[in-house]
């Protein structure tokens, strides 16, 4: 059992949970994630380790409530517990030794980019973060990232920082200061847009992929993604890959596999509701 020791609302739908996981707190490295299962008949879902406190034996999870499992997790109050946390999983972030790194975070991806920026900063790199959200209240982790370097904020409605997408800010930055490496974490369309922007400039771009996972140990293959000509399992070969080689269309498409189920789960959480569901191709 992993007790929640702290809970903080970061934006209207993003919540920070600090939970006990002593071993993981000690050894996790930037870029790694855990598989979390609340208990009972709950799903196993992957969440990035946004931060860790080895002295206290806790890790920080930053969770965007998008469906049943994440909503149940963010409803946890301090003192309540998560039954299963396995990890740290995945490869740590590939880091360069010197130069200028640009970390681009969209939405909850900003929380995922944070440990990466932290790692780079501790290595002595110059770090610039570009983060975005719908409007001011959706921007998260700004202060934490400011402690590590420059931060450029973009909002869709212009209510805070620059009006526009993170890619607009990135484009300008690349043409002025330039970058040795770009890390992009966020919704698939954002990561694809970043990769499209950096590809002709030949700026190495690392993206953190979020396919549907089950075990997180390479056993099911459900998390497979196409990178270059190869099929890779994101949980063990990733989750970070060369953004210039990733087939984002396929990823986006596969993420929609369970859309109908997710809508139903959202509608009838505990019901004995037993509507038969078939693969959409058959209907």
Instruction: Kindly write down the DSSP assignment for every residue of 224-262, as one continuous string.
Output: EEEETTEEEEHHHH-SEEETTTB-HHHHHHHHTTTHHHH
Site string for ligand FES, 208-227 (x = CB under 6 A): -----xxxx-xxxxxx----
35 binds ligand FAD (CB under 6 A): no
Site string for ligand FES, 36-75 (x = CB under 6 A): ----------------------------------------
The rounded distance, in Å, linking the Cα atoms of 53 and 237 is 26
The rounded distance, in Å, linking the Cα atoms of 109 and 24 is 21
- Which residues are bridge partners to 64 per DSSP? 14
Instruction: Kindly write down the DSSP assignment for every residue of 117-148, as one continuous string.
Output: HHHHHHTT-EEEEEEEESSGGG--SHHHHHTT
Stretch that binds another protein, among 87-95, 110-118, 165-173, 194-202 (CB under 8 A): 87-95
113 and 210 Cβ atoms separated by less than 8 Å: no
Q: Which residues within the stretch 42-81 sit at the binding site for ligand FAD (CB under 6 A)?
A: 43, 45-48, 62-64, 66-70
Short-list 248, 226, 209, CA closest to 91: 209
Q: Which two tokens stand for residue 210?
A: 């979020």
The rounded distance, in Å, linking the Cα atoms of 131 and 166 is 6
221 binds another protein (CB under 8 A): yes
Residue 239 touches which member of another protein, ligand FAD, ligand FES, none, C-beta under 5-8 Å by kind: ligand FAD
Q: Which residues within the stretch 4-63 sit at the binding site for another protein (CB under 8 A)?
A: 23-24, 27, 35, 37, 41-44
Residue 85 touches which member of ligand FES, ligand FAD, another protein, none, C-beta under 5-8 Å by kind: another protein
Site string for ligand FAD, 141-170 (x = CB under 6 A): ------------------------------
Host H or E run for residue 43: none
277 Cβ contact list (under 8 Å, min separation 6): 260, 261, 264
- Residue 232 CB, shortest distance to another protein, in Å, is 11
The torsion region of residue 40 among left (phi > 0), alpha (psi -120 to 50) and beta comes to: left
Site string for ligand FES, 225-254 (x = CB under 6 A): --------x-x-------------------
In the bound state, the residue with its beta carbon closest to ligand FAD is 67
Sign of CA dihedral 29, 33, 34, 36: positive
Residues that bind ligand FES (CB under 6 A): 213-216, 218-223, 233, 235
Residues that bind ligand FAD (CB under 6 A): 33, 43, 45-48, 62-64, 66-70, 108, 111-112, 210-213, 239, 255, 259, 262
Residues that bind another protein (CB under 8 A): 23-24, 27, 35, 37, 41-44, 68-69, 83-89, 214-215, 217-222, 224, 226, 231, 236, 250, 253-254, 256-258, 261-262, 264-265, 268-273, 276-282
């Amino acid at each position: 059992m992993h007790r929640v020791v702290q809970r903080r609302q970061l934006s209207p739908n993003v919540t920070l949970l600090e939970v006990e996981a002593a071993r993981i707190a000690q050894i996790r490295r930037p870029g790694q994630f855990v598989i979390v299962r609340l208990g009972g008949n709950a799903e196993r879902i992957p969440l990035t380790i946004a931060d860790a406190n080895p002295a206290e034996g806790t890790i920080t999870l930053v969770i965007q409530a998008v469906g049943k499992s994440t909503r149940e997790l963010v409803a946890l109050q301090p003192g309540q517990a998560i039954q299963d946390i396995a990890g740290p999983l995945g490869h740590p972030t590939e880091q360069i030794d010197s130069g200028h790194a640009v970390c681009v975070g969209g939405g909850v991806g900003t929380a995922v980019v944070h440990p990466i920026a932290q790692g780079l900063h501790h290595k002595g790199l110059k770090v610039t973060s570009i983060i975005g959200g719908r409007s001011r209240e959706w921007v998260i982790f700004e202060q934490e990232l400011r402690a590590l370097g420059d931060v450029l904020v973009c909002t869709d409605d212009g209510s805070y920082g620059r009006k526009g997408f993170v890619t607009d800010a990135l484009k300008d930055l690349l043409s002025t200061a330039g970058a040795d490496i770009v890390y992009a974490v966020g919704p698939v369309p954002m990561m694809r847009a970043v990769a499209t922007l950096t590809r002709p400039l030949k700026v190495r771009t690392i993206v953190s992929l979020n396919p549907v996972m089950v075990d997180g140990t390479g056993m099911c293959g459900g998390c497979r993604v196409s990178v270059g000509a190869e099929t890779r399992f994101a949980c063990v070969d990733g989750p970070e890959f060369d953004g210039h080689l990733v087939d984002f269309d396929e990823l986006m498409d596969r993420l929609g596999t369970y859309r109908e189920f997710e809508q139903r789960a959202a509608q009838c959480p505990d019901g004995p509701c037993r509507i038969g569901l078939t693969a959409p191709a058959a209907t």
